[in-house]
Amino acid sequence: MSTLLISHPACLNHETPAGHPERADRLRAIEQALEDEKFQSLAREQAPLGELETIALCHPMDYIEAIQDASPQQGLVRLDADTTMSPGTLEAALRCVGGGILAVDEVVNRKAANAFVATRPPGHHAETSRPMGFCLFNNAAIAARYAQKKHGLGRIAIVDFDVHHGNGSQDIFWADKSVMYCSTHEMPLYPGTGATSERGEHNTIVNAPLSAGDGGNEFREAMEVAILPRLRDFKPELLVISAGFDAHTRDPLANLNLVEADYSWVTKELMAVADQYADGRIVSLLEGGYDLQGLSRSVAAHVSALMTG
C-alpha cells in the first residue's frame, strides 16, 4: 500500500479578494512540489463531492443551506471579515469534505497506507453553525465523525499543528468524549481561543499554546510533554491531522519559527502513535500555510514522512 494524495482542480476556483493570503497559488505550489520524482509512487485520486448528509454530521442542515444560499452567481460575497465566497467556492468546499471522506474510506479499508488531502478552503475554524477564518465546513471534524458513523470506529483523535487554534474543531467536540482534539498554536493570535485551561467536558481537549518567537525546540517539547502522552492514553483508532503549515518561520500571518524538519518529525511521531493503537491509520488534511515556499517545502516534508509508513 502507498500513501494516497487527494486533490481536485475545482479547489483552484475558490476565489478570494486581491491580496488575500488564502489563495489558489497555495495549491499550485503544493502540486508543483509533489510533482518531484520522489513522489512518483504516491497513489493519486480526485476528491469527490461531499454529500450534504455527511456535512450534517457536524453542521446543522439550516447552516448548510445558508452557505448554499450565500453562494454568488458572480463576484464575491463576504461572510465575515476574512471569509468570502465566489461562484466556485461551494464546489471547492464540497470537494474538501469529499476528499476527507474518500481518505477515510481508503485508509480504513486498507486500500491506502495513509492519506493527505490537498484541498482548499481550509476547515478548522468553522464552528457548528458559524463560518470563520477562511473556513466554511470543518473538514477534519466531518472526517472524524464519518469514520465513526460509517466504519464503526470508536475513539478518534484530531491533532492540529496549524499556527492558529482550531476553535471550530474544539467547539464541535467540546462535549464529546469519543473524539480527542489536540492543538499546538501561537497565543495570543487569531481566533483567541486555545488556552491550556480549555479542556472540554470530558478532558478530551488538549491545548498546548506556544509564544511568538518559539521554534522547533518549544514545538517538539509541547508535543512530547502535553500531547503525545495524552494521545497514547486515549488510544485512538484513527488519527486525523489538521495539517496547517503556517507555523513555518517564513509565514506572514504568525510568529513561530518551525522549519521543514519539524514537520517531518511531528509526522513520524504521530505515525508511531497510529502504528501502536490505530493500525497505522492516518488521514491528514491541509489547513493553513501562506508563504508559498514554506508551504510547499513543508508539505513535501510531511508527505515524505507519511510515505515511510
3-state DSSP call for residue 34?
coil
Instruction: Write the burial class of residue 11 (CB in 10 Å: 0-12 exposed, 13-18 middle, 19+ buried).
Output: buried
Nearest to 101 by CA among 47, 42, 45, 137: 47
- Of the candidates 125, 164, 185, 302, the residue annotated as catalytic is 125
DSSP notation for 233-281 = HH--SEEEEEE--TTBTT-TT---BB-HHHHHHHHHHHHHHHHHHSTT-
Q: How many CB atoms neighbour CB 87 within 10 A? A: 16
Q: Are 255 and 211 in contact (CB under 8 A)?
A: no
CA atoms of 237 and 54, how far apart (whole Å): 20
In the residue annotation, 185 being an active-site residue is answered as no
Instruction: Write the burial class of residue 38 (CB in 10 Å: 0-12 exposed, 13-18 middle, 19+ buried).
Output: exposed
Q: Which residues, at least 6 apart from 295, have a Cβ–Cβ distance to it below 8 Å?
A: 26, 29, 30, 245, 248, 289
**Rounded (10°) CA dihedral 156, 162, 166, 169:** -20
Task: Scan for cell 450534504, then name that residue.
Answer: 52
CA atoms of 172 and 182, how far apart (whole Å): 13
The residues carrying an active-site annotation are: 125
